[in-house]
Amino acid sequence: MQPIHNLEDKQVAYSNLKHAHQKLVEKSDIWNWNSLATTTRPSLQRILHLDKLVKSAIALPGDIFEFGCHYGASTCIMHNLLEIYEPHGHRMIHAFDTFEGFPSTDHRDSSSTELQNKKGDFNVEIEDYDFFLDGILTNLRQLDMSPSKRPSYSLNKGDASVTLPSFLDERPATLASMVIFDLDIFEPTSECLKHIESRLVPGAIVVFDELLSFDQFPGESLAFQSCAFKHRLKPLVHDSMVPFSATFQYF
C-alpha cells in the first residue's frame, strides 16, 4: 500500500465520501448498488486491474494464490469475478495473510522514505479477522449464481513463508494459474517464490504488487532479483492503472 500524495488536501474529500458511503449502505438494496456512488477512482482502477488479471488466469488450469490479502478486498473482488466468468467452475482462491501485520522486517526492507517498515505494520484492526472475512465470503457465496456447494476459497492465517509449505504438502496435486505477491517485504516474498514455482502451470500469471515501489518497499524488488526462476518470467504490458505493480508470465 502506497502513501497517498497530497494527503492533507484530499483528507476532507475522503472523509466526506466515507460518511456518504455509510449512509448509502443503509439505503441500498440487496446488491448494495447505491453505495457504489462513492467508489473512488483508485478503487475503480484496482477493480479494472483485477478484472484483467482474472480474465488472464481463467484461460489456464489451476487455482489463484494471493500472498498478502490484508482486509480481503482483492480476495472478495476476485471471488465475485470468478463467479461471473466461471459460475460452474471449480477454481479456488487461496489467500494468505498474518492479519496481524508484518511478521518481521530486516535491513532489506529499509525504506528510503519517512515511512519506515516495521513489525506489525498493516495490522488488521478487527479482532479474529480471518473469521470475519470468512463470513463476508460466505455471504457473497449466498448471492452467487451457481448452486454448487463446492469450496471456492481458503483463508490461511499466519506467516505465508511458514503456512505455504504445509498447505502445499497437504494438497500435492494443486496447481496455480496465477499468484499475486503483495507481502511487501523480502523474507516471506522470497520464501513463497521458492515454494510455489513447482505448482506454476506453463503460462501462469505472476504479479508483484509493489515491485516498482523501490523507495517504500525495496524488499519485494530484492526478492524478485534473488528469485531462482526470474529468467522464466516474461514481463507483460505494464498496467498504468496500478503504477507500482508488475505482471509476468511464467514459461
> How far is it, in rounded angstroms, from Cα 26 to Cα 36?
12
* pLDDT at residue 237, rounded to an integer: 86
Q: Are 237 and 249 in contact (CB under 8 A)?
A: no
- Half-sphere CA count of 175, side-chain side, radius 13 A: 13
Domain 41-250: give its CATH code.
Answer: 3.40.50.150
- Please state the pTM of the whole predicted model: 0.94
C-alpha cell at 103: 511478521
What string of DSSP letters covers the chain?
-PPPTTHHHHHHHHHHHHHHHHHHHHT--TT-GGGGGG--HHHHHHHHHHHHHHHHHTTSSSEEEEE--TTSHHHHHHHHHHHHH-TT----EEEEE-SBS-S---GGG--SSSS---TTTTB--STTHHHHHHHHHHHHHHT-S-------EEEEES-HHHHHHHHHHH-TT--EEEEEE---SHHHHHHHHHHHGGGEEEEEEEEETTTT-TTT-HHHHHHHHT-TTGGGEEEPPP-TTSTT-EEEEE-
- The whole-angstrom separation of Cα 55 and Cα 77 is 13
Report the alpha-carbon distance of residue 247 to residue 41 in Å, rounded.
Answer: 21
How far, in Å, CA of 202 to CA of 113, rounded? Answer: 38
Torsion sign (Cα): 248, 85, 98, 242? positive
pLDDT tens-digit map of 90-147: 999 999 999 999 999 999 999 998 889 999 999 999 999 999 999 999 999 888 766 6
Mean pLDDT of 73-89: 94
Whether the per-residue pLDDT at 3 is higher than 60: the answer is: no
Beta-carbon contacts of residue 248 (< 8 Å; ≥ 6 apart)? 205, 206, 207, 208, 233, 234, 235, 236
Residue 30: per-residue pLDDT = 76
Q: What is the chain's mean pLDDT, rounded?
A: 93
95 forms bridges with which residues in the sheet?
66, 155
The domain locations on the chain are 1-39, 41-250
Q: Is the pLDDT of residue 206 over 70?
A: yes
Residue type, position 223, single letter:
A
Q: What is the pLDDT of residues 7-32, one digit of tens each?
A: 677 888 889 999 999 999 988 887 78
pLDDT category at 6 given cuts 50, 70, 90 is low
Side-chain-side CA neighbours of 244 within 13 Å: the count stands at: 19
pLDDT value of position 225: 97
